[in-house]
Amino acid sequence: MSETIIEQVREDLYRAEIPLPRNPLKATNSYIVRGENRNLIIDTGMNRPECKSALMWALDQLKIDLQQTDFFVTHLHADHVGLVGDLSAEGALIYFNQPDADILNYKDLWQLVCSLAGKHGFPEELVDQAIDSHPGQRYSPKNPVDFTMVVEGDVIDCGDYSFRCFHTPGHTAGHTCLYEPNLKYFFSGDHILGDITPNISTWLDDSDPLGEYFNSLDRVHALDVELVLPGHRSLITDCRARIEQLKEHHAVRLEEVLNILYNNAPLSAYEVAAQMTWDLIADDWEEFPLMQKWFATGEALAHICHLEALGKIERIAKEKTLLFISKQ
Protein backbone atom coordinates (compact mmCIF):
# COMPACT_ATOMS: atom_id res chain seq x y z
CA MET A 1 0.00 0.00 0.00
CA SER A 2 1.28 3.48 -0.85
CA GLU A 3 1.87 5.81 2.08
CA THR A 4 -0.97 8.09 3.14
CA ILE A 5 -0.32 11.81 2.79
CA ILE A 6 -0.11 13.33 6.28
CA GLU A 7 0.19 17.08 6.83
CA GLN A 8 0.85 18.66 10.21
CA VAL A 9 -1.45 21.68 10.41
CA ARG A 10 -0.39 22.65 13.91
CA GLU A 11 0.98 20.98 17.00
CA ASP A 12 -1.06 17.81 17.66
CA LEU A 13 -3.33 18.52 14.68
CA TYR A 14 -2.92 16.60 11.42
CA ARG A 15 -4.66 16.20 8.07
CA ALA A 16 -4.57 12.72 6.51
CA GLU A 17 -5.72 12.23 2.91
CA ILE A 18 -7.80 9.06 2.79
CA PRO A 19 -8.01 7.95 -0.88
CA LEU A 20 -11.38 7.37 -2.53
CA PRO A 21 -10.63 4.91 -5.37
CA ARG A 22 -12.32 5.66 -8.71
CA ASN A 23 -14.14 8.63 -7.21
CA PRO A 24 -13.91 12.17 -8.64
CA LEU A 25 -13.44 13.55 -5.12
CA LYS A 26 -10.10 11.67 -5.02
CA ALA A 27 -9.71 11.72 -1.21
CA THR A 28 -11.35 12.63 2.08
CA ASN A 29 -9.50 14.78 4.59
CA SER A 30 -9.50 13.05 7.95
CA TYR A 31 -8.32 15.34 10.75
CA ILE A 32 -6.51 13.75 13.68
CA VAL A 33 -6.18 15.58 16.97
CA ARG A 34 -3.83 14.22 19.62
CA GLY A 35 -4.82 14.79 23.23
CA GLU A 36 -3.18 13.93 26.52
CA ASN A 37 -5.92 11.48 27.55
CA ARG A 38 -8.20 11.12 24.50
CA ASN A 39 -7.65 11.69 20.79
CA LEU A 40 -10.22 12.87 18.26
CA ILE A 41 -10.67 11.87 14.60
CA ILE A 42 -12.82 14.16 12.45
CA ASP A 43 -14.32 12.18 9.51
CA THR A 44 -12.98 8.84 8.33
CA GLY A 45 -13.39 7.93 4.65
CA MET A 46 -15.58 5.21 3.18
CA ASN A 47 -16.23 1.79 4.63
CA ARG A 48 -13.93 -0.01 2.21
CA PRO A 49 -10.56 -1.76 2.67
CA GLU A 50 -8.52 0.85 0.82
CA CYS A 51 -9.77 3.64 3.09
CA LYS A 52 -9.33 1.65 6.27
CA SER A 53 -5.76 0.64 5.37
CA ALA A 54 -4.84 4.24 4.57
CA LEU A 55 -6.29 5.64 7.79
CA MET A 56 -4.81 2.87 9.93
CA TRP A 57 -1.37 3.56 8.42
CA ALA A 58 -1.71 7.26 9.27
CA LEU A 59 -2.82 6.47 12.82
CA ASP A 60 0.15 4.15 13.24
CA GLN A 61 2.57 6.83 12.04
CA LEU A 62 1.08 9.30 14.52
CA LYS A 63 1.01 6.70 17.31
CA ILE A 64 -2.74 7.08 17.81
CA ASP A 65 -4.28 4.42 20.05
CA LEU A 66 -7.86 3.72 18.97
CA GLN A 67 -8.60 2.53 22.51
CA GLN A 68 -8.20 6.18 23.54
CA THR A 69 -9.87 7.85 20.56
CA ASP A 70 -13.25 9.47 19.97
CA PHE A 71 -14.78 10.55 16.65
CA PHE A 72 -16.63 13.51 15.23
CA VAL A 73 -18.53 13.08 11.95
CA THR A 74 -19.59 16.18 10.04
CA HIS A 75 -22.41 14.52 8.08
CA LEU A 76 -23.96 11.28 6.88
CA HIS A 77 -22.22 10.74 3.53
CA ALA A 78 -20.22 7.54 3.27
CA ASP A 79 -16.89 9.25 2.58
CA HIS A 80 -17.14 10.90 6.01
CA VAL A 81 -18.98 8.42 8.24
CA GLY A 82 -18.13 5.10 6.61
CA LEU A 83 -15.46 3.71 8.95
CA VAL A 84 -16.61 4.88 12.38
CA GLY A 85 -18.37 1.61 13.14
CA ASP A 86 -15.24 -0.42 12.40
CA LEU A 87 -12.70 1.87 14.07
CA SER A 88 -14.42 2.91 17.29
CA ALA A 89 -13.37 0.95 20.35
CA GLU A 90 -15.68 0.04 23.22
CA GLY A 91 -16.58 3.17 25.12
CA ALA A 92 -15.57 5.54 22.34
CA LEU A 93 -17.79 8.55 21.74
CA ILE A 94 -18.94 9.14 18.16
CA TYR A 95 -20.25 12.69 17.96
CA PHE A 96 -22.94 13.19 15.32
CA ASN A 97 -26.09 15.16 14.59
CA GLN A 98 -29.66 13.92 15.01
CA PRO A 99 -31.12 14.83 11.58
CA ASP A 100 -28.45 12.88 9.70
CA ALA A 101 -28.53 9.99 12.18
CA ASP A 102 -32.28 9.63 11.59
CA ILE A 103 -31.63 9.30 7.86
CA LEU A 104 -28.57 7.05 8.13
CA ASN A 105 -30.30 4.60 10.47
CA TYR A 106 -33.68 4.65 8.66
CA LYS A 107 -34.22 1.05 7.63
CA ASP A 108 -36.31 1.78 4.53
CA LEU A 109 -34.11 4.62 3.27
CA TRP A 110 -33.24 3.23 -0.14
CA GLN A 111 -36.79 2.06 -0.90
CA LEU A 112 -37.94 5.63 -0.18
CA VAL A 113 -35.22 7.09 -2.42
CA CYS A 114 -36.26 4.74 -5.25
CA SER A 115 -39.84 6.00 -5.15
CA LEU A 116 -38.76 9.64 -5.04
CA ALA A 117 -36.38 9.22 -7.98
CA GLY A 118 -39.19 7.98 -10.20
CA LYS A 119 -41.39 10.85 -9.12
CA HIS A 120 -38.79 13.29 -10.43
CA GLY A 121 -38.40 11.67 -13.82
CA PHE A 122 -35.40 9.41 -13.28
CA PRO A 123 -35.87 6.51 -15.73
CA GLU A 124 -37.48 3.59 -13.95
CA GLU A 125 -35.20 1.05 -15.64
CA LEU A 126 -32.11 2.82 -14.24
CA VAL A 127 -33.20 3.44 -10.65
CA ASP A 128 -32.24 0.04 -9.21
CA GLN A 129 -28.91 0.13 -11.00
CA ALA A 130 -28.21 3.61 -9.62
CA ILE A 131 -29.08 2.54 -6.08
CA ASP A 132 -26.84 -0.53 -6.35
CA SER A 133 -23.96 1.71 -7.49
CA HIS A 134 -24.58 4.49 -4.97
CA PRO A 135 -21.59 4.96 -2.60
CA GLY A 136 -23.98 5.69 0.27
CA GLN A 137 -25.56 2.29 -0.15
CA ARG A 138 -22.26 0.45 -0.69
CA TYR A 139 -19.78 2.13 1.66
CA SER A 140 -21.69 3.41 4.69
CA PRO A 141 -21.53 1.61 8.07
CA LYS A 142 -23.18 -1.78 7.69
CA ASN A 143 -24.82 -1.71 11.10
CA PRO A 144 -26.55 1.03 13.11
CA VAL A 145 -24.05 3.19 14.97
CA ASP A 146 -24.43 4.28 18.60
CA PHE A 147 -23.93 8.02 18.19
CA THR A 148 -23.50 10.69 20.83
CA MET A 149 -25.69 13.51 19.57
CA VAL A 150 -24.46 17.09 19.48
CA VAL A 151 -26.28 20.33 18.71
CA GLU A 152 -25.34 23.91 17.93
CA GLY A 153 -23.08 25.35 20.61
CA ASP A 154 -21.93 22.07 22.17
CA VAL A 155 -18.21 22.05 22.97
CA ILE A 156 -15.82 19.13 22.40
CA ASP A 157 -12.45 19.46 24.13
CA CYS A 158 -9.38 17.55 23.01
CA GLY A 159 -5.92 18.39 24.30
CA ASP A 160 -5.28 22.11 23.85
CA TYR A 161 -8.21 22.44 21.44
CA SER A 162 -11.80 23.40 22.23
CA PHE A 163 -14.20 22.81 19.33
CA ARG A 164 -17.64 24.41 19.16
CA CYS A 165 -20.32 22.63 17.13
CA PHE A 166 -21.78 24.81 14.39
CA HIS A 167 -24.90 23.57 12.57
CA THR A 168 -24.70 24.23 8.81
CA PRO A 169 -27.63 22.54 7.02
CA GLY A 170 -27.62 22.50 3.23
CA HIS A 171 -25.27 19.80 1.99
CA THR A 172 -27.21 17.54 4.34
CA ALA A 173 -30.01 18.38 6.77
CA GLY A 174 -27.84 17.96 9.84
CA HIS A 175 -24.40 18.91 8.51
CA THR A 176 -22.34 20.18 11.47
CA CYS A 177 -18.96 21.88 11.44
CA LEU A 178 -16.44 22.54 14.21
CA TYR A 179 -15.13 26.00 15.10
CA GLU A 180 -12.05 26.55 17.24
CA PRO A 181 -12.54 30.16 18.42
CA ASN A 182 -9.11 30.60 19.99
CA LEU A 183 -7.31 29.75 16.74
CA LYS A 184 -10.16 30.81 14.45
CA TYR A 185 -10.02 27.42 12.70
CA PHE A 186 -13.17 26.15 10.97
CA PHE A 187 -13.51 22.43 10.16
CA SER A 188 -16.02 22.71 7.33
CA GLY A 189 -16.74 19.14 6.23
CA ASP A 190 -18.46 19.56 2.86
CA HIS A 191 -20.05 22.91 3.72
CA ILE A 192 -17.17 24.93 2.26
CA LEU A 193 -14.72 23.40 -0.20
CA GLY A 194 -11.94 25.07 -2.15
CA ASP A 195 -11.44 24.12 -5.79
CA ILE A 196 -14.67 22.13 -6.04
CA THR A 197 -18.24 23.12 -5.21
CA PRO A 198 -20.25 21.24 -2.55
CA ASN A 199 -23.15 19.33 -4.04
CA ILE A 200 -26.47 20.72 -2.79
CA SER A 201 -29.14 18.25 -3.78
CA THR A 202 -32.40 16.67 -2.67
CA TRP A 203 -35.02 14.14 -3.71
CA LEU A 204 -37.65 15.72 -1.44
CA ASP A 205 -39.83 18.26 -3.21
CA ASP A 206 -41.06 19.76 0.08
CA SER A 207 -37.61 20.94 1.18
CA ASP A 208 -35.32 23.86 0.32
CA PRO A 209 -31.74 22.73 1.05
CA LEU A 210 -30.28 25.46 -1.15
CA GLY A 211 -32.08 28.12 0.88
CA GLU A 212 -30.72 26.50 4.06
CA TYR A 213 -27.26 26.42 2.49
CA PHE A 214 -27.34 30.15 1.73
CA ASN A 215 -28.38 30.85 5.32
CA SER A 216 -25.60 28.64 6.66
CA LEU A 217 -23.02 30.37 4.45
CA ASP A 218 -24.14 33.74 5.78
CA ARG A 219 -23.77 32.56 9.37
CA VAL A 220 -20.23 31.31 8.71
CA HIS A 221 -19.42 34.55 6.88
CA ALA A 222 -20.10 36.38 10.15
CA LEU A 223 -17.54 34.25 12.02
CA ASP A 224 -13.93 35.30 12.48
CA VAL A 225 -12.18 32.52 10.52
CA GLU A 226 -8.49 32.48 9.65
CA LEU A 227 -8.24 28.93 8.29
CA VAL A 228 -10.84 26.57 6.82
CA LEU A 229 -10.06 22.86 7.09
CA PRO A 230 -12.41 21.26 4.53
CA GLY A 231 -13.50 17.68 3.98
CA HIS A 232 -11.73 17.49 0.60
CA ARG A 233 -8.75 19.06 -1.14
CA SER A 234 -6.60 21.93 0.14
CA LEU A 235 -6.99 24.18 3.17
CA ILE A 236 -8.63 27.59 2.57
CA THR A 237 -7.13 30.82 3.88
CA ASP A 238 -9.81 33.32 2.78
CA CYS A 239 -13.11 31.99 4.08
CA ARG A 240 -15.27 34.97 3.20
CA ALA A 241 -13.99 35.23 -0.36
CA ARG A 242 -14.71 31.55 -0.92
CA ILE A 243 -18.22 31.94 0.49
CA GLU A 244 -18.93 34.74 -1.99
CA GLN A 245 -17.69 32.54 -4.84
CA LEU A 246 -19.97 29.70 -3.76
CA LYS A 247 -22.98 32.00 -3.55
CA GLU A 248 -22.25 33.39 -7.01
CA HIS A 249 -21.93 29.86 -8.42
CA HIS A 250 -25.42 28.98 -7.22
CA ALA A 251 -26.86 32.29 -8.39
CA VAL A 252 -25.65 31.43 -11.90
CA ARG A 253 -27.13 27.93 -11.60
CA LEU A 254 -30.47 29.31 -10.46
CA GLU A 255 -30.60 31.64 -13.45
CA GLU A 256 -29.77 28.74 -15.77
CA VAL A 257 -32.56 26.55 -14.34
CA LEU A 258 -35.02 29.42 -14.57
CA ASN A 259 -34.13 29.99 -18.23
CA ILE A 260 -34.55 26.29 -19.00
CA LEU A 261 -38.02 26.27 -17.48
CA TYR A 262 -38.94 29.58 -19.13
CA ASN A 263 -38.09 28.28 -22.60
CA ASN A 264 -39.75 24.87 -22.37
CA ALA A 265 -42.98 23.09 -21.60
CA PRO A 266 -43.27 21.76 -18.02
CA LEU A 267 -40.25 19.59 -17.17
CA SER A 268 -39.26 17.08 -14.51
CA ALA A 269 -36.09 17.56 -12.47
CA TYR A 270 -34.40 14.86 -14.58
CA GLU A 271 -35.30 16.72 -17.78
CA VAL A 272 -34.01 20.00 -16.35
CA ALA A 273 -30.73 18.34 -15.34
CA ALA A 274 -30.34 17.02 -18.89
CA GLN A 275 -30.27 20.61 -20.20
CA MET A 276 -27.95 22.12 -17.59
CA THR A 277 -24.22 22.61 -18.13
CA TRP A 278 -21.96 20.23 -16.23
CA ASP A 279 -18.21 20.07 -15.77
CA LEU A 280 -17.86 16.62 -17.30
CA ILE A 281 -16.20 15.35 -20.45
CA ALA A 282 -19.18 14.03 -22.38
CA ASP A 283 -20.70 14.99 -25.71
CA ASP A 284 -24.26 14.91 -24.41
CA TRP A 285 -26.47 13.85 -21.50
CA GLU A 286 -26.87 10.30 -22.81
CA GLU A 287 -23.12 9.72 -22.39
CA PHE A 288 -23.07 10.86 -18.76
CA PRO A 289 -22.08 8.16 -16.24
CA LEU A 290 -25.14 6.85 -14.41
CA MET A 291 -24.13 8.17 -10.99
CA GLN A 292 -23.39 11.60 -12.41
CA LYS A 293 -26.93 11.67 -13.83
CA TRP A 294 -28.19 10.73 -10.37
CA PHE A 295 -26.33 13.50 -8.54
CA ALA A 296 -27.12 16.01 -11.29
CA THR A 297 -30.84 15.32 -10.98
CA GLY A 298 -30.73 15.81 -7.21
CA GLU A 299 -28.86 19.08 -7.67
CA ALA A 300 -31.32 20.27 -10.31
CA LEU A 301 -34.22 19.55 -7.94
CA ALA A 302 -32.56 21.53 -5.12
CA HIS A 303 -32.35 24.57 -7.38
CA ILE A 304 -35.93 24.03 -8.58
CA CYS A 305 -37.20 23.87 -5.00
CA HIS A 306 -35.42 27.12 -4.15
CA LEU A 307 -36.90 28.86 -7.18
CA GLU A 308 -40.31 27.61 -6.12
CA ALA A 309 -39.74 28.97 -2.60
CA LEU A 310 -38.91 32.32 -4.20
CA GLY A 311 -42.21 32.20 -6.11
CA LYS A 312 -40.55 32.09 -9.53
CA ILE A 313 -41.80 28.69 -10.69
CA GLU A 314 -44.73 26.42 -9.96
CA ARG A 315 -45.35 22.69 -9.98
CA ILE A 316 -47.72 20.56 -11.99
CA ALA A 317 -48.52 17.17 -10.47
CA LYS A 318 -49.06 14.44 -13.04
CA GLU A 319 -50.14 10.90 -12.19
CA LYS A 320 -46.60 9.60 -11.57
CA THR A 321 -44.28 12.53 -12.24
CA LEU A 322 -43.89 16.01 -10.78
CA LEU A 323 -43.26 18.73 -13.36
CA PHE A 324 -42.23 22.37 -13.02
CA ILE A 325 -42.81 25.48 -15.13
CA SER A 326 -41.73 29.11 -15.00
CA LYS A 327 -44.28 31.66 -13.74
CA GLN A 328 -42.75 34.42 -15.84
Sketch the domain layout of the chain as residue ranges. Answer: 6-256
| pLDDT score of 193 | 98
**pLDDT values of the chain reduced to their tens digit, one per residue, 328 residues:** 468 999 999 999 999 999 999 888 999 999 999 999 999 999 999 999 999 999 999 999 999 999 999 999 999 999 999 999 999 999 999 999 999 999 998 888 999 999 999 999 999 999 999 999 999 999 999 888 999 999 999 999 999 999 999 999 999 999 999 999 999 999 999 999 999 999 999 999 999 999 999 999 999 999 999 999 999 999 999 999 999 999 999 999 999 999 999 988 899 999 999 999 998 777 789 889 999 999 999 999 999 999 999 999 999 998 889 999 998 7
How confident is the model at residue 22, as a pLDDT? 86
**3-state per-residue secondary structure call for the chain:** CCCCCEEEEECCEEEEEEECCCCCCCEEEEEEECCCCCEEEECCCCCCHHHHHHHHHHHHHCCCCHHHEEEECCCCCHHHHCCHHHHCCCCCCEEECHHHHHHHCCCCHHHHHHHHHHHCCCCHHHHHHHHHHCHHHHHCCCCCCCCEECCCCCEEEECCEEEEEEECCCCCCCCEEEEECCCCEEEEECCCCCCCCCCCCCCCCCCCHHHHHHHHHHHHHCCCCCEEEECCCCCECCHHHHHHHHHHHHHHHHHHHHHHHHCCCCECHHHHHHHCCCCCCCCCHHHCCHHHHHHHHHHHHHHHHHHHHCCCEEEEECCCCEEEEECC
Matching CATH number, 6-256, of 3.40.50.150, 3.60.15.10, 3.30.390.10, 3.40.50.720: 3.60.15.10
pLDDT, position 3: 80
